[in-house]
Amino acid sequence: MPHSNIVLPLGLQGHRGARGLFPENTIEGFRAALALGIDAIELDVGLTADGVAVVSHDLGLNPDIVRDATGVWLPGPGSALRDLTWEALQTFDVGRLRPGAAYTAQFPLQQPCDGARIPTLAEVLRLDAAMRFTIELKTDPRFPDRTASPADLADATLAVVDAAGAASRIDLESFDWRGPRHVRRTRADIRLAWLTRPETVRDAHLWWGGPVPSDFGGSVPRAVAAEGGAIWAPEYAALTQDEIAEAHDLGLLVLPWTVNETAAMRRLIGWGVDGIITDRPDLYPR
């Protein structure tokens, strides 16, 4: 790859495309991210009312991102994706962050792309026949009525992946471990990543759907390994070198997110991580 001589097994992964630079989870943003020389695209999926797998981080329309058909920002959180048909969803523009929003202030370099729509997963998988994708299943055990069930979302996602002939170049991940667990039981050919962040570890009884860290001596990598996980995808800020070593001893690959500074990328690479998810692929050390 032209971007670096540092080779990581899971590579440099663009978060929602490259959220720091281009509108997240859009065809336009993914194209631009690919041009930066990333190894994989990380994206999020949910299901519409009519069962279409679409690429969106949010369970519903996000007023920091979404404008209606007249170009007006939503006055507040909008409908859940599962309550909107694919056709209705196409009327919304997601190509520009709302001026003045706190969310917008996090991404001062993001270039707008007016007219961008929430894409289908099928469209995105067609962008590049060789590209790898890390696909996050967006269900939330706190809001079971806002999405399809974890199993139904996983099955619908994999139906699209299979139709694209892409099963060998995707990894599936979720904070809600019920989805990956369902896939582990039904699809041995799909590689799984188990997402964690401090809040989901603290409320593991909810997010992990049964096991809790104390079942594993407080070790998150051991909990992932017990699920038969291939990849542990932790929030990076609290990640330690010892935890990475422990994960490797358990046979796991470690894929931290969302690492947006070169110094942090260097530190993690020095500690032996197997990939990096970032909003800023342009900051990857060369």
Smallest distance, Å, CB 15 to Mg ion? 7
Binding residues for Mg ion, total number by CB under 5 A: 2
Among 24, 28, 39, 44, binds Mg ion (CB under 5 A): 44
Residue 140: closest CA among 217, 81, 65:
81
Name the segment binding Mg ion (CB under 5 A); options: 18-26, 38-46, 163-171, 216-224.
38-46
Give the position of tokens 């069962």.
51
Q: Phi and psi at residue 282, in whole multiples of 5°?
A: -70, -15
Nearer to Mg ion, 136 or 171 (CB): 136
Interface of this chain with Mg ion, residues 128 to 147, rule: CB under 5 A: 136
Nearer to Mg ion, 28 or 136 (CB): 136
Name the segment binding Mg ion (CB under 5 A); options: 39-47, 91-99, 205-213, 263-271.
39-47
Alpha carbon distance 47, 146 (integer Å): 10
Smallest distance, Å, CB 44 to Mg ion? 4
CA 111, 130, 157, 7 dihedral sign is negative
Name the segment binding Mg ion (CB under 5 A); options: 18-26, 29-37, 43-51, 226-234.
43-51
Nearer to Mg ion, 66 or 233 (CB): 233
Cβ distance 49 to 83 under 8 Å? yes
State the pairing for strand pair 40-47/53-55. Answer: antiparallel
Strands (E), the chain: 11-15, 40-47, 53-55, 132-137, 170-174, 191-196, 231-234, 253-254, 275-278
Name the segment binding Mg ion (CB under 5 A); options: 37-45, 161-169, 223-231, 263-271.
37-45
Nearer to Mg ion, 133 or 208 (CB): 133
Smallest distance, Å, CB 92 to Mg ion? 20
Smallest distance, Å, CB 98 to Mg ion? 20
Give Cβ neighbours of residue 150 (< 8 Å, ≥ 6 apart).
137, 139, 174, 176, 178, 179, 182
The residue number with the shortest CB distance to Mg ion is: 136
Integer CA distances (angstroms), 211 to 195, 205, 207, 224, 250, in order: 14, 6, 9, 10, 18
Asked if 246 touches Mg ion (CB under 5 A), the answer is no
Alpha carbon distance 107, 165 (integer Å): 34
Smallest distance, Å, CB 42 to Mg ion? 6
Smallest distance, Å, CB 234 to Mg ion? 13
Residue ranges in contact with Mg ion by CB under 5 A: 44, 136
